Chains A and B, each alone.
Chain A
Amino acid sequence: MQHYSGFGLIKHSLSHHENWQRAWRNPTPKKKYDVIVIGGGGHGLATAYYLAKEFGVTNVAVIEKGYLGGGNTARNTTIVRSNYLWDEAAHLYEHAMKLWEGLSQDLNYNVMFSQRGVLNLGHTLQDMRDIQRRVNANRLNGIDGEVLDAKQVQELVPHMDCSANTRYPVLGASWQPRAGVARHDAVAWGYARGADAHGVDLIQQTAVTDLIIEDGACVGVKTDRYGEIRADRVGSVVAGNSSVIAAMGGFELPLESHPLQALVSEPIKPILDTVVMSNHVHGYVSQSDKGDLVIGAGIDGYNGYGQRGSFPTIEHTLQAIVELFPIFSRVRMNRQWGGVVDTCPDACPILSETPVKNLFFNCGWGTGGFKATPGSGHVFAASLAKGEMHPLAKPFSMFRFHNGALVDEHGAAGVAH
Chain B
Amino acid sequence: MLHIYCPHCCEYREEEEFHVKGQAHLARPLDPEACSDKEWGEYLYFRKNPRGLHHELWVHAAGCRKFFNVTRDTVSYEIKEVYLIGEKPSVVAASVSAK
Cβ of B44 to closest chain A Cβ, rounded Å: 7
Q: Is the CB of A241 within 8 A of B51?
A: yes
Contacts of B15 in A (CB 8 A): 310, 312
**Stretch of B5-13, B25-33, B71-79, B81-89 lying at the A interface:** B71-79
Residues of A within 8 A of B44 (CB): 345, 401
Is A302 among interface residues, defined by CB-CB distance under 8 A?
A: yes
Is A402's CB under 8 angstroms from B41's CB? yes
Number of interface residues of A (CB under 8 A): 26
Q: Which of B22, B42, B49, B56 has the most CB of A within 10 A?
A: B49
| B56 near A303: Cβ-Cβ < 8 Å | yes
Q: Is the CB of B41 within 8 A of A404?
A: yes
The answer for the CA separation of A402 and B77 in the assembled complex, in Å, is: 31
B48 shortest CB reach to chain A, Å: 7
Contact B37 A404 (CB under 8 A): yes
**Contact pick for B45, options A243, A301, A305, A401, CB 8 Å:** A401
Q: B98 to chain A: which residues have CB within 8 Å?
A: 247, 250
Task: State the total of A-B contacts with C-beta under 8 angstroms.
Answer: 79
B91 beta carbon closer than 8 Å to chain A: no
A310–B74 touching, CB < 8 Å: no
- Is B74 within 8 A of A401, CB to CB? no
CA of A253 to CA of B48, assembled, Å: 8
Whether B60 sits at the interface, judged by CB under 8 Å, is no
- Chain B 10-58 interface residues, beta-carbon cutoff 8 Å to A: 15-16, 19-20, 22, 37-38, 41-42, 44-51, 54, 56
Known: A250-B98, A257-B51, A257-B74. 18 other contacts (CB 8 A): A241-B51, A243-B48, A252-B49, A254-B45, A256-B22, A301-B19, A301-B20, A302-B74, A302-B77, A303-B54, A306-B77, A310-B1, A310-B2, A310-B15, A312-B16, A345-B45, A401-B44, A404-B37
By a beta-carbon cutoff of 8 Å, the part of chain A in contact with chain B is 241, 243-244, 247-248, 250, 252-257, 301-306, 310-312, 345, 401-404
Task: List 22 interface pairs A-B (beta carbons < 8 Å), by A numbering.
Answer: A243-B48, A244-B50, A247-B97, A252-B46, A254-B45, A254-B46, A257-B51, A302-B72, A303-B54, A303-B74, A304-B74, A305-B51, A306-B74, A306-B75, A310-B15, A312-B1, A312-B15, A401-B41, A401-B45, A402-B38, A404-B37, A404-B41
Report B's interface with A, CB cutoff 8 A: 1-2, 15-16, 19-20, 22, 37-38, 41-42, 44-51, 54, 56, 72, 74-77, 97-99
